[in-house]
Amino acid sequence: MKYMTRRESQRHQRSAPVLQASLALLVSLSFVPRTSAETGEQVSALRALEKRIKGVVAGCKPAFVFIKGAQEGGGYSSGSGFCISPDGYVLTNDHVIVGARSIEAYMTGGRYFKTAVVGRDPGGDVALLKLEGDGKFPFLKLGDSQAVRPGQRVLALGDPFLTGSENVFVRGAPANFEPAVSMGIVSAVHRYSETYNDAIQVDLAVNRGNSGGPLITLDGKVVGINGKIETRFALGINTGVGYAVPSNQILRFMKHLEVAEGGTVLHGKIEGLEVGERADEKAGLPVIGVRQGSPAAASGFKAGDLLERLGGLPVRTRSRYKGILGTYPAGDTVVAEVLREGEKLTLKAVLVAGGKAHLGLIPRAIESDVAGVGVGSVVRSSPAQRAGIKEGDIVTMFDGQPITSTTELKSVMNQRRPGDTIVLKLSRAGEDLELKVTLGGK
């Protein structure tokens, strides 16, 4: 951005005589080249930057994926994604594919791939997909989002307004399946906005259809997934405020996404820890309560502690506290640095999945001699469906405990946590079977 300051310093030195002259004169005058050491330097700086941008774009573009989710009841949800491995794993936003009964993927140039959902993180708006097909896919590498600094130049690849996957100019002419690249800078880091716990804020153009696309540094590394914008009046067009899910958060969830078998991964919290709204001048977030016997108490937290850092990052507000925790999956250990009576302590907290355990079957009275709870329907992509429970099954046992009513089923479910694995005994068409189900979270 140096050239901006140089321009500023010369603001009054150049006038525009051409603009006051007559047109005929103008035409001839306008060919006088306006070169000076100053402008020459500025142009060569821009040319060097242009060369770098073109190189990054050319290198990253082949790994870009256009994603279309065929929705129940017709219509498509469309967005962007990118390959992250030579065998065809693709990252996108969860909201691009949520509710889709099937997913179509097209790589740059338009080659079609059958696509399956590997894992979903609705709490972080990330989904991992897998393109089916042989051969080596071009792919992008995830970089270190912690190294991203405000002011850093970044690029976004995407399919805004479907300009690459539909021909918006002439209806009925084919699209060219070229992703669009926009350039801008990182405006801020560590922003908290709903499911965007620790977002990178950018000023580059991101619009509908950009969702799921990569945010790329000038080193060609992906540091985030663009997925959200601030907008007003329901216009839904770029305002210069966009948010990306940071790559370090995605990397922490990756091992869970890879084994989710199409299901969802869980976020966690420090169970039993109550913190204040924001820090005072002491520059630490006050711990205002620790539930007895809770995991927080077991980690060694005490009411009156000042929480200074979490996961190595300073904490000043409750939203930042939630934001940092939101970047870790349930089960991970987060290091907390607290100040207690002038002494600095390092505590380790294991994150516990929040919310209620989710099975995903809707009971219905079924006429049968077998005592149990009839399955009226199974929620799509739910733990029950992935475990193989089918409509018409009768649940007879839950972890060895007989189930005879919906109330009993609810009661045992209330004692389980998201992420727990349970064993269900079922009666299907007169035959008994046993299924293991890993409960989800809601």
Instruction: Provide CB contacts within 8 A for 203, sequence distance 6+.
Output: 184, 185, 187, 240, 241, 242
Q: Are 130 and 116 in contact (CB under 8 A)?
A: yes
Question: Minimum distance from CB of 199 to other proteins (Å)?
Answer: 10
Q: What angle do CA 189, 193, 194 make, to 5 degrees?
A: 145
Reference 213, options 103, 334, 349, 108; nearest CA is 108
Question: Minimum distance from CB of 77 to other proteins (Å)?
Answer: 4
Distances (CA, A) of 9 to 5, 12, 42, 324: 6, 8, 14, 42
Cα first-last separation, the chain: 46
Question: Minimum distance from CB of 388 to other proteins (Å)?
Answer: 19
Reference 108, options 142, 131, 75, 76; nearest CA is 131
In whole angstroms, what separates CA 106 from the centre of its chain?
Answer: 20
Is the CB of 182 or the CB of 299 nearer to other proteins?
182
**Residue listed under structure tokens 């969830």:** 253
Q: Is 267 known to be catalytic?
A: no
Angle of helix 2-9 versus helix 37-60 axis, rounded to 10: 160
Is the CB of 237 or the CB of 366 nearer to other proteins?
237
Would you state the torsion angle of the CA atoms of residues 194, 235, 226, 358, taken in this order, to the nearest 10 degrees? 40
Is the CB of 237 or the CB of 362 nearer to other proteins?
237
**Residue in 95, 190, 267, 358 annotated catalytic:** 95
* Token output for 362: 């809707």
Is the CB of 25 or the CB of 288 nearer to other proteins?
25
Question: Minimum distance from CB of 85 to other proteins (Å)?
Answer: 21
Q: Is 125 known to be catalytic?
A: yes
- Which H/E stretch holds residue 246? strand 242-246
Distance of alpha carbon 70 from alpha carbon 100, whole angstroms: 5
Q: Is 95 known to be catalytic?
A: yes
**Residue in 94, 121, 125, 198 annotated catalytic:** 125
Ramachandran category for residue 73: left, alpha or beta (phi over 0 → left; psi -120 to 50 → alpha): left
Is the CB of 198 or the CB of 337 nearer to other proteins?
198
Q: Please count the other Cβ atoms lying within 10 Å of the Cβ belonging to residue 418.
A: 23
* Token output for 342: 């002038």
Distance of alpha carbon 238 from alpha carbon 133, whole angstroms: 35
**Residue in 145, 211, 247, 299 annotated catalytic:** 211
Question: Minimum distance from CB of 324 to other proteins (Å)?
Answer: 20
* DSSP secondary structure letters along 86-149: TT-EEEE-HHHHTTEEEEEEEETT--EEEEEEEEEETTTTEEEEEE--SSPPP---B--GGG--
Distance of alpha carbon 304 from alpha carbon 307, whole angstroms: 9
Is the CB of 113 or the CB of 328 nearer to other proteins?
113
Question: Minimum distance from CB of 66 to other proteins (Å)?
Answer: 10
Is the CB of 57 or the CB of 413 nearer to other proteins?
57
Is the CB of 152 or the CB of 294 nearer to other proteins?
152
Question: Minimum distance from CB of 255 to other proteins (Å)?
Answer: 26
Question: Minimum distance from CB of 147 to other proteins (Å)?
Answer: 23
| Catalytic center residues | 95, 125, 211
